[in-house]
């Protein structure tokens, strides 16, 4: 077993405890938009609830920017008929027009609500240097509305890995030497609850409003970095997450099982797949 694989194996055994550090929401985050009555902190700031109705959604953002890290958020999704309701946790280089921004970087978890009894799809996406159109969607193997699950993003100079709890669901390698864009600028953590008609084929039933998304786990394992000049420092070996270069054998089997059994949509399955697809399968 190589050093990087061993680091990953040990990390995944310890990750639950590491992410259990008791941190108040206000220590690392602040509300960025939404009416005052659409955001509530519970349990002395250890839980945050976002509300969505026809008047407003809500969002919060980290106080710092980062150049690498292993980021996570514990989330419990809105219950009931949630068609058109989008719950998010993501890293972003800014709030501009992300489709037309030629330099935009972003790593997304987006949960697409649906009518009760239908699956809630989890969409991941990678924007890099303005390149978009890299959506993947999976069906979850549990009900994400009844209890918390931990959604994680590893981002270092080698790869990006999306996890649901301890199961990797997506890997995106750094292939810049092959001409594939890779996020290369500081990113800020954001989360939001909002409405989007494109997120479901069914109409939103506003009689279920206000929809509520619950968040926990406000500690952050990341390298603080506000400008591109500090990015190289954030790739250094003094940050343990930079040693994670690949999945171990158990994680690889779990990853392949998710792709085989739960993949709902994959941009790599198009007739003209992107060049990175052969490296990230």
Task: Give which of 74, 59, 46, 92 is closest to 165, Cα–Cα.
Answer: 74
Q: Choose, from 47, 106, 147, 276, the residue flagged as catalytic.
A: 106
CA 40/CA 37 separation, integer angstroms = 7
The one catalytic residue in 110, 135, 256, 276 is 110
- Identify the DSSP state of 197: G
Virtual torsion, Cα 188, 190, 196, 199, nearest 10 deg = 90
- First CA to last CA across the chain, in angstroms? 21
Q: Is the peptide bond before 210 cis (omega within 30 degrees of 0)?
A: yes
Extract the tokens encoding 67.
Answer: 């150049």
Q: Which residues pair with 191 in a beta bridge?
A: 60, 89
CB 81 within 8 A of CB 205: yes
- Check if 256 is active-site: no
Q: How far apart are CA 166 and CA 281, in angstroms?
A: 19
Active site residue 106: yes
Q: What are phi and psi of 180, to 5 degrees?
A: -95, 125
The residues that are catalytic are 106, 110
């Amino acid at each position: 077993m190589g050093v990087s694989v061993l680091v990953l194996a040990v990390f995944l055994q310890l990750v639950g405890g590491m992410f259990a550090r008791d941190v108040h929401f206000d220590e690392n985050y602040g509300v960025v938009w939404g009416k005052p009555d659409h955001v509530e902190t519970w349990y002395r700031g250890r839980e945050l609830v976002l509300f969505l109705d026809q008047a407003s959604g809500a969002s919060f953002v980290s106080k710092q920017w980062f150049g690498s890290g292993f980021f996570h958020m514990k989330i419990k999704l809105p219950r009931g008929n949630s068609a058109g309701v989008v719950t998010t946790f993501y890293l972003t280089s800014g709030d501009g027009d992300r489709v037309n921004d030629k330099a935009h970087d972003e790593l997304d978890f987006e949960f697409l609500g649906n009518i009760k009894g239908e699956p809630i799809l989890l969409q991941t996406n990678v924007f890099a240097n303005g390149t978009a159109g890299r959506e993947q969607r999976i069906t979850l193997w549990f009900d994400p509305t009844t209890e918390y699950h931990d959604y994680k993003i590893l981002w270092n100079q080698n790869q990006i890995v999306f996890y649901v709890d301890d199961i990797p669901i997506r890997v995106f390698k750094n292939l810049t030497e092959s001409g594939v864009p890779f996020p290369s600028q500081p990113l800020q953590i954001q989360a939001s609850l909002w409405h989007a008609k494109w997120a479901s084929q069914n109409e939103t039933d506003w009689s279920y409003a206000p929809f509520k998304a619950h968040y926990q786990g406000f500690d952050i394992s990341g390298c603080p970095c506000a400008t591109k000049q500090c990015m190289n420092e954030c790739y250094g070996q003094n940050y343990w997450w930079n040693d994670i270069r690949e999945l171990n054998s158990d994680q690889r089997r779990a990853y392949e099982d998710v792709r085989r059994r739960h993949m709902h949509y994959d941009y790599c399955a198009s007739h003209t797949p992107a060049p990175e697809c052969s490296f990230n399968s």
